[in-house]
Amino acid sequence: MSKNIGGAKPQRYVQPSLLMALTNGSSYGYQLIQLIGEYGFLRGDVPPGMIYRHLRQMDEEGLVDSKWDAQGDGPAKRVYSITPEGREILEAWIIHMEGQRDALDKFIQRYREQ
C-alpha cells in the first residue's frame, strides 16, 4: 500500500479555517491556532509562523481586520476579525468544498457499486 494515500497538502485549508474560526468573533493569533486545529485539516502541531503569515496576507487582502490590543498584562496582542469580504471568500470556499464532497461521494459510490 502506498504511503502517499491522502497526501494532499492540508495547509491549503488554513485560509478557510482561519476565516471560519473568526465567524464566532474576534480573536488573537494564538487562540486561532488552537481553534483551527480542531477542524481536522492540519495534523499535529500547527506551525505558528505559517498561521501568522496567512493572517498578514489575509489582512493585506482585506479578508480580515487587525488591531493592536494593549489592555491587560503583558505585551500588546493583535486581534483579528473577519470582514464582509472575508465572509464572501469563506462562502466561496464552502461552495468549493461542497463540490469536492459531491465528487468524492460519487467516486466512492461508483467503487462500492462495482
Give the pTM. Answer: 0.85
Say what the pLDDT of residue 2 is.
Answer: 43
- Where in the sequence is the domain holding 74, given as residue range(s)? 10-113
CB proximity list for 90: less than 8 A, separation 6 or greater: 16, 19, 20, 23, 82
- 2 within a domain of the structure (yes/no): no
Q: Report the number of distinct structural domains present in the chain.
A: 1
- 20 within a domain of the structure (yes/no): yes
Cell numbers linked to 14:
488554513
- 66 within a domain of the structure (yes/no): yes
pLDDT band at 45 (very low <50, low <70, confident <90, very high): confident
pLDDT band at 8 (very low <50, low <70, confident <90, very high): low
